[in-house]
Structure 1
């Protein structure tokens, strides 16, 4: 595994790559990010206390950083089409301390994969400056014309934010609140004009936060207002596209209760949490690569019985726990997924 990670992180020293490889494998085996759980899955004859100190040194000083990991993600998940993204925030508490993270995820073959993130020094919503900083970092890795749209919920509104995206050439598909103005009128007033026999109202080229956007207004089955605006999608396709935003919620569940148990961490120092999230992204993207082409039974409502992450993580855990004979070869085959895909001319 070290060989393949070296190709992605050529500037890291050999011992840094070896430690990173060790912890990625330990993370997969433990499905837990606590130091003691990782130490139990680290091979070798060293005492547990010694291994834990090695893990602590990783979180203290390893050079692993978000931009390096994001570059790897885009390399391993190539896409011939423009990429779709989702932006959202997740948080948890350790005692009275809030850990609050703003994530940008890339949607690849129907799965949201974390790309970059910003730690927020407070609870609650992110601000415009932090969001734009996150996207400016993204634009060091790809060009604005490669972005099809960014899906966002009602937290991500406001003229400064929307105008900031436009200045960077980044399109957005965003859910609006009922008090947002569409061509100068509150969205709620437009929604009141929906006729009893109409399921939705489409408004093309309306002014929203100073920009021309297409807007769809409807109500959910529960009667809740659903108003979505986009400067990337035609009105009749907006709702179908906006459903992609839900995939980032699935991502958060996989990082937490349905996969890696992120909330078990006792780390709150920003540098430590940053390295932890980088490590988790590596484990997550490997699980995606393993699970993406596996078949899963469908439930009665038509959805898969097991997610891509669940399938991939299960296969990796099984391969990591049985490293004898043919099972060792299985793990080696899965490790080869770290090889950068060959690009055709």
Structure 2
């Protein structure tokens, strides 16, 4: 447990997942080579469990409303080896936070069975009635997948391909009825993959078809909700190039990468909890000048780089955020 805590702190301080970078941030008088061997043993055999981490995430990020989720993949290469992770993120105060993930033994898209198995794990942590919707891109389509979600009582808001059939006709043909000057076609209760779904059809600013179906919300509100799917892309950037440099890892074994993702989840959640307490200027479009995660990371790094004697109260406050009751009662604050 002590090494687990030290590695979370090291991740935040180093903003790098490489063993040598983590070892440099671990306190003590041991030689760097010795610390690296401890880190290697941690990733090889520590019993860190994704479900336990997910249970902690939900406890630390309480929500009085039904929860929204996003599902997507992130991948990178080490030499010729593909590392491909299917990630389910939970939305909290405008941020997507990693909840559960599955390492895929191949490159490319995930399969229906893998996705449904991941969601079955989620349903051991919460009830289907606690799920408002799952946002997903065009990879996550197909009748077996959509029907599998319906059987589990899980609603979805998903972008469709132009060849997806709506009431028996390709979606692209419905777009042909979009009149000049009209922003979108709104359709309620049409059959998509054998289920009644609401659909919005429009064009992006780049001239690309945008077709989104949902059995969670009315057609008129689908696009506003679907825009939240972008939060998981922000999450991946924060885990990778803009934050912890996940793709720098030399580990490719599923068990090792799984433990690394668990560590990153803990570091990310702490950054979010701290970041939501920080104030920042707003840009002209009303968004924060700095993301919640960036603000949290900066605050944590600054706090732990000072002399402990001069900032002990601040440090204790940051540590107490790991106690779930410290985030209870503030769920309705808007961010």
Q: Could you say whether these structures have the same fold, taking a TM-score greater than 0.5 normalized by the shorter chain as the test?
A: yes
Select the residue among 135, 143, 162 that pairs with 1:151: 135
Select the residue among 43, 49, 52 that pairs with 1:65: 49
Contact kept in structure 2, 1:125 and 1:155, CA below 8 Å:
yes
Runs of 4+ that moved beyond 4 A: none
- Map 1:1-345; keep pairs closer than 5 Å: 17-341=1-325
How many residues matched?
Answer: 328
Deviation of 1:325 (Å): 2.1
Secondary structure of 2:83's counterpart equals: strand
Deviation of 1:168 (Å): 0.3
Per-residue CA deviations over 1:202-248 (Å, capped at 9, x if unaligned) read 11000000000000001111111100000000111000000010000
Secondary structure of 1:149's counterpart equals: strand
User: Which stretch has the larger CA shift, 189-198 or 146-155?
Assistant: 189-198
In the superposition, the TM-score normalised over structure 1's length comes to: 0.93
Secondary structure of 2:325's counterpart equals: coil
Structure 1 vs Structure 2 CA RMSD: 1.1
Per-residue CA deviations over 1:290-317 (Å, capped at 9, x if unaligned) read 0013222222333221100000000011
Deviation of 1:174 (Å): 0.2
In the superposition, the TM-score normalised over structure 2's length comes to: 0.96
Report the counterpart of residue 8 of structure 1 in structure 2. Answer: none
Secondary structure of 2:308's counterpart equals: coil
Q: How far apart, in 1, do the equivalents of 2:111 and 2:312 lie?
A: 48
User: Which stretch has the larger CA shift, 216-225 or 316-325?
Assistant: 316-325
Gaps of 5+ in 1: 1-16
